[in-house]
Structure 1
Amino acid sequence: MATRIRPSTKRCAVIGGSGFLGRHLVERLVEKGFSVTVFDITQSYELPGVTFHQGDLCDKQALITALKDVSLVFHCASPAPASDDRALFQRVNIEGTHTVVEACQEVGVQKLVLTSSASVVFEGTDIKNGKEDLPYAKRPIDYYTETKIQQEKIVLEACSKKKGFFTVAIRPHGIFGPRDPQLVPILVDMARRGKMKFIIGDGSNLVDFTYVENVVHGHILAAEHLKQDSPLCGKAYHITNDEPILFWDFMSKVLVSLGYDAPRYHLPYMLVYGIALLLWLLTLLLGPLVTIKPIFTPMRVALAGTHHYYSCAQAKQDMGYQPLVGLQEAISRTVTSYMHLRKEA
């Protein structure tokens, strides 16, 4: 019988390493002395110490090749939440994650850290200082979230101390930072089209926005503390900036820093939500005949008009988590990286 080579503890893989969060994670791992393998459908950059494998997440043989001699895997791959491609969510978040778990187990990976989402417990109503013991949403706010719930269950249920396969899920909320392809570009685009004049509700709702470096820090801490006798095994942890901010204050800070007007006019929350719900029903009914893409969906209205912020107490206790970059500094760094989107430009 062939002797099994123990994977190097300084070799790791980042699945989805070409994406926004994935690339920031890869760069930090390299700084910490890791040899990193990236597995993704595309390659968007080159970096010394990083090996790229392009492939389909559902191709187990391709994954097995990429994960050879790797002891630690970060699974960050997921379509953007704004996508409306249900088949893609199903394929990547559910089928792909099943394949990742199977490939990890077959090649002897010891640790799997999943990028989940705090939205797995959010149903469109207020969450204040939410803890990890909240139940999964019975009515997820969108299909993306529905598949993220299934994804998290797949990974956490695979944890087996007996087999030496340890898993943990990180639940960030409202990730932003330099190179973010979603939040700031979409915000600026809406401002340029005159769609950011209104505040939904009374503007008093607190939310979490989390700087990408802090999300990366949470992932690496989880990997470092994930071991046989660790409380992390098979658990999920909220990772945020730990500084809830008024949703519309955050939007205003970003917009004003880039030369755009802050939202000023208030619209009743229930009125906007009702209109969004009606438009959503129309898209379902008329979908086979005409393409309708409403700006305000029930999900977006709920995210803009309710409280949703989460406690990091468990992450602080079990892995010593503290945000590395405060919220104001994070906003400043992010805005500076988007000067090409200033109003004058």
Structure 2
Amino acid sequence: MDHPIPIAPSSSPLQRTTSKSGSYPPVPSVCVVTGGTGFVGCRLVEMLVERGASKVISFDVVPPPKDAWHHPNIEWRVGDITDKQAVDELLSTPNIGCVWHNAAAVGPFHPKPLYYKVNYEGTQNIIESAKKYGINKIVFSSSPSTRFTGVDVDGLTEEEMPSLPLDNYMQTYAETKAMGEMEISKVCTNEFMTVAVAPHQVYGPRDNLFLPNLLEAAMNGKLRVFGKGYNRICFTHVDNYCHGLIIAEKALYPDSPALGKFYIVTDGKTHPEGEQYLIFWKILDEAIVGMGFPSLWGKAHLPKGLLLFIASICDVLQKIFGIILKLNTFNVIVLTMHRWFDIKAAETDLKFEPIIGFREGWDETIVWFRENWLPKQSKSKGLGGIAKTTQSKIDIQDESSKKVR
């Protein structure tokens, strides 16, 4: 008699249907997910259990969220990847089939030293402990920003993008993620197999970084279309990214074409004419209007040159006073440049196909935010600050890193 597929109680109707109806390859019996309480990490933990893992250990400096799935196959372990002893204890667990290394200091808002400790030194700790305890598979969660130079990325493949290391990086996050990825790729052999997989612009129910910050700015009347507003972009539903991470483990075998490589996975063909891009500000406006806020397209657009000038001043203010401002040079550039990718490499080497279509995934995400995020919001004044969920995680990560010596 077949056992029913376990389904995470916090998953959305679309996520439930996709998990139940899909035919997916088996996963390792024992799995480790670093950064397992984050937006992506939490969903990855859930999907590994839904696909048959008997034990999934989430390892994160941030405690599990209130709606965390307390399934007997999940262990929510609080720990810091910058703590070598804690990482050793984690990876000494018997029979670990793969480590999904998602833990990172993400975005442009953390203190600079934290990026190096978490994204680079933390990755080194994972590699060293994995080797020490005979674990021979690591799937590394990377970022396309590791290859961004400020020049448009208009439908490029991974091979057509700049190779690492870059001469200059647009932000410390990108630089330190690149450093971590290079370490992962450098150690890859037929005996110790690694691969790096990245999404682009992850969205979905329970997102605590991308949409909350932009929607909060729109709610407070602080958001306008940057530039002309027709920059092309691709999106990745959180389940599509987690699916890409999970099946990447299957591509780790001796002499695999994926060994040591970097792949980008997205929602694929999202344009009505079959292209793999969307118009960013048009799509974002759907979510803004979906919250009941005024459309951005009825307001004056902000010229890119003016924004860059103001952002440069904001950059200086942040350095002098140690404050966080949403407007910075990096954000202006990424919100006005073309950034979409051709995912044929992931389709070929990883056998990746999106499991959730963009249109249905985006529509459900808007509904989720209207029903779950919006009722908890209150308007604020000023240009400073970021979403509470984002700031809370930053504070926890920074405090933990200060304790580890």
* Fold shared, TM-score > 0.5 on shorter chain: yes
1:320 counterpart = 2:351: yes
Q: Give the drift of 1:239.
A: 0.9
Letter of the 2:58 counterpart: V
| Distance in structure 2 (CA, Å) of the matches to 1:322 and 1:340 | 29
User: Which residue is 2:184 aligned to?
Assistant: 155
Native 8 Å contact 1:74 1:112 kept in 2: yes
Could you tell me which runs of 5 or more consecutive residues in structure 1 were left unpaired when the two chains were aligned: 1-7
Partner residue, 1:63: 87
1:227 aligns with: 253
> What does residue 36 of structure 2 align with?
17
Runs of 4+ in 1 over 6 A off after TM superposition: none
The two structures, once aligned, show a CA RMSD in angstroms of 1.8
Q: Secondary structure at the match of 2:246?
A: helix
- Of 179, 186, 208, the match for 1:181: 208
**Deviation of the 1:179 alpha carbon:** 0.9
Q: Offset at 1:183?
A: 1.6
Find the aligned partners of 2:345 and 2:77 in 1 and give their Cα distance: 35
Q: Give the match for residue 103 of structure 2.
A: 77
User: Residue 109 of structure 2 contacts residue 324 of structure 2 at CA under 8 Å; is this kept in 1?
Assistant: no
2:365 aligned counterpart, secondary structure? helix
Question: Structure 2: how far apart are the matches of 1:12 and 1:291?
Answer: 39
Aligned residue for 2:158, secondary structure, equals coil
Q: Measure, in 2, the Cα distance between the counterparts of 1:62 and 1:294.
A: 34
Deviation of the 1:53 alpha carbon: 2.5
Give distance in 1, aligned partners of 2:80 and 2:353. Answer: 35
How far, CA to CA, are the matches of 2:42 and 2:323 in structure 1? 33
Q: Which amino acid aligns with 1:23?
A: C
* Cα separation, partners in 2 of 1:84 and 1:66, compared to 1, 3 Å: closer
Shift of 1:158: 1.2
- Deviations 1:77-125 (CA, angstroms, capped at 9, x unpaired): 0123142311111110011100000000100111100000011111222
Equivalent residue letter for 1:194: G
3-state DSSP of counterpart to 1:169: strand
Kept in 2, the 8 Å contact 1:58–1:92? The answer is yes
Q: What is the identity, as a one-letter code, of the residue corresponding to 1:312?
A: I
Alignment of 1:277-316 (within 5 A): 277-284=312-319, 287=320, 290-316=321-347
SS of aligned partner of 2:97: strand
Higher strand share: 1
Taking the aligned partners of 2:215 and 2:332, their CA distance within structure 1 comes to 18
Q: Gaps (5+ residues) in structure 2?
A: 1-26, 271-276, 378-405
Indicate the SS of the match to 1:305. Answer: coil
Give the 3-state SS of the residue equivalent to 1:266 in structure 2: coil
The CA deviation string for residues 308-344 of structure 1, in whole angstroms up to 9 with x for no partner, is 1111110001111111111111111211221234489
Alpha-carbon spacing, 1:294–1:19, altered in 2? closer, same or farther (3 Å): closer
Would you say the 8 A contact 1:123–1:138 is kept in 2? no
Q: Deviations over 1:142-176 (max 9, x none)?
A: 11111111011011111121xx1100000111111
In the alignment, what sits opposite 1:37?
57
Of 62-71 and 233-242, more deviation after overlay is shown by 62-71
Q: CA deviation at 1:185?
A: 1.5
TM-score w.r.t. length of structure 1: 0.91
Q: Is residue 45 of structure 2 the alignment partner of residue 26 of structure 1? A: yes
Structure 1 position 292, deviation (Å): 4.3
Per-residue deviation at 1:191? 1.4
Moved more, 132-141 or 305-314: 132-141
Q: CA deviation at 1:238?
A: 0.7
Residue 251 in 1 paired to residue 284 in 2?
yes
